[in-house]
Amino acid sequence: MNSPTMHLPHDDHDCGWYGALPSPAPAKRLSGQQQADYAVIGAGFAGLAAARRLAEQKPGARIVLIDAQRVGYGASGRNSGFVIDLPHKMALEHPDPAHKQRLLGLNRAAIDQLQGLVQQHQIDCQWSHAGKYQGAVGPRGLAYLEHFERLMTELGEPFRSVEGDELANVIGTRHYSRAVYTPGCYLMQPAALVRGLADSLPKNVELLEQSPILGLKRDSKGQWLLQGSDGQVRTPSLLLGTSIFTQEFGYLRSRLLPVMTFASWTRPLSQAEMVAIGIQPDWGLTPADHAGTTVRMTQDNRLIIRNTYKHVPRYGKSVNEATREEIRAGHRKALLARYPQLAGVPFTHTWGGVYAISRNFTNFFGELETGVYATACDNGVGAAWGTISGALLADLAVGAESRHLQDIQAVTGMPSRNPPEPLLGLGVRTRIRMAAWNSRSEL
């Protein structure tokens, strides 16, 4: 099945993470008639993890991993480079302590899995156990920060308050009143990481890029037929690591909300500039107020500013160049509020990335219909959640039991149904505007 008006990925050409990588080898594309024991659509964190686990569980099977774009070009290569162990605020507020512990365990299993692969395959992706700061600018942010501290205390997780000279000597600015440091987060270069994961796939996985699947149907023998523009794949088992694009195949329709968030980064700062600002490399700060500004300093001394959310029903096609310029100007304002010394340092790239959220903050994981499995709706924790949910989706498909599989089945469910358009778009846009207005002091 597929949508009569299928919207394919349409990402901008200005992602700094991807642009910093060397050009990849020519893509191998889907062509002709192919048969696979398992097919995986989507070569982001979820699809890569699913294909790898399938290959490990079924070493004699032929696995085909298919992506509409190049690996690292889509959403998995466009985040801010955090692999977060802690659930986000909505999940931390869940009334069941066991639910929160399951989420923590799943996220940390994903980190362990990624760290093992980075080390085993020597993936050059700026992988770093740097921890994470959550920062507050004014009274609104401080109230959120105090709430976060209470949640962390209830969870029994380590954290410490950082302010004054201690904070300024790391992040190079006194813009923030206070921050809370948590030690379990890892930082990385996302496009480099996913490309490295793809380059190190087991030999029984065939990666096909720039090969959008335009439709799905079941043939007379009960196999799934994946139709591309220049070829087909037949398979009895299909795994979807397609996140928001799952709805384009007719599944989870009216249950996922496509949201795009945006980032800009500077050129690498010189050592003299780093010393003059008093800033350290390799750290990340997320806002205590979720609608505020994320700031990252990379290992190669680039400052990243991320804020601004848009509802994008047509994904990248929903954002025009005028909107991108307006967003870039907002990023510039946020940068100079923190680092007025960088008035002469330009942004070299501004990009957006699409992810899926649900109104009830619920992730989907499981079998959609016979032979079709999906993990969708990461709700903003894509690197860790995509990795562990993709691996466990493969376990589900082959019938392999584990404690982590039981845990993910316990904490996932069905995203709630959205109201119809135009009410949905009006409501989402209004909510985003209100959040931005309420959080303007934290931007």
Q: Is the pLDDT of residue 420 over 90?
A: no
Distance CA 353, CA 197 (A): 20
Q: Which two tokens stand for residue 68?
A: 């509409």
Q: Is the pLDDT of residue 422 over 80?
A: no
Query: Given this model, what pLDDT does residue 426 score?
Result: 82
Residues 35-48, mean pLDDT to the nearest whole number = 98
Residues 38-59, mean pLDDT to the nearest whole number = 98
Q: Is the pLDDT of residue 4 over 80?
A: no
Percent of the chain whose pLDDT exceeds 90: 88
Pairs from 221-226 (Cβ < 8 Å, separation ≥ 24): 222/370, 222/371, 224/39, 224/371, 224/372, 226/39, 226/41, 226/66
Closest CA to 415 of 374, 384, 377: 377
Q: Is the pLDDT of residue 285 over 90?
A: yes
Count CB neighbours of 427 within 10 A: 15
Lowest mean pLDDT among 189-198, 264-273, 383-392, 421-430: 421-430
Query: Given this model, what pLDDT does residue 424 score?
Result: 80
Query: Given this model, what pLDDT does residue 442 score?
Result: 87
Residue 2 — pLDDT band, cuts 50, 70, 90?
low
Residues 144-171, mean pLDDT to the nearest whole number = 96
Residues 337-349, mean pLDDT to the nearest whole number = 97
Q: Is the pLDDT of residue 3 over 60?
A: no
H-run or E-run covering 374: strand 372-376
Lowest mean pLDDT among 179-188, 198-207, 371-380: 371-380
Residues 66-89, mean pLDDT to the nearest whole number = 94
Output 374 or 427, whichever has higher pLDDT.
Answer: 374
Whether 265 and 16 have beta carbons less than 8 Å apart is answered as yes
Q: Is the pLDDT of residue 196 over 60?
A: yes
Three-class SS state of 245: helix
Residues 275-297, mean pLDDT to the nearest whole number = 96
Distance CA 172, CA 223 (A): 58
pLDDT tens, position by position, 238-281:
999 999 999 999 999 999 999 999 999 999 999 999 999 999 99
Distance CA 40, CA 47 (A): 6
Distance CA 71, CA 200 (A): 13
Query: Given this model, what pLDDT does residue 436 score?
Result: 78
Q: Please give the domain boundaries of the chain with CATH numbers for all domains.
A: 16-77+192-255+360-419 (3.50.50.60), 127-187+257-359+426-442 (3.30.9.10)
Query: Given this model, what pLDDT does residue 216 score?
Result: 96
Residue 5 — pLDDT band, cuts 50, 70, 90?
low
Closest CA to 211 of 309, 71, 389: 71
pLDDT tens, position by position, 200-217:
999 999 999 999 999 999
Query: Given this model, what pLDDT does residue 148 score?
Result: 95
Percent of the chain whose pLDDT exceeds 70: 98
pLDDT tens, position by position, 135-153:
999 999 999 999 999 999 9
Q: Is the pLDDT of residue 364 over 90?
A: yes
Q: What is the mean pLDDT of the chain?
A: 95
Q: Is the pLDDT of residue 380 over 70?
A: no
Residues 79-83, mean pLDDT to the nearest whole number = 96
Give CA separation, 410 vs 50, 244, 413, in Å.
Answer: 19, 22, 8
Lowest mean pLDDT among 30-34, 235-239, 271-275, 419-423: 419-423
Residue 134 — pLDDT band, cuts 50, 70, 90?
very high
Q: Is the pLDDT of residue 423 over 80?
A: no
Residues 37-53, mean pLDDT to the nearest whole number = 98
Q: Is the pLDDT of residue 89 over 80?
A: no
Residue 379 — pLDDT band, cuts 50, 70, 90?
low
Closest CA to 177 of 139, 133, 132, 148: 139
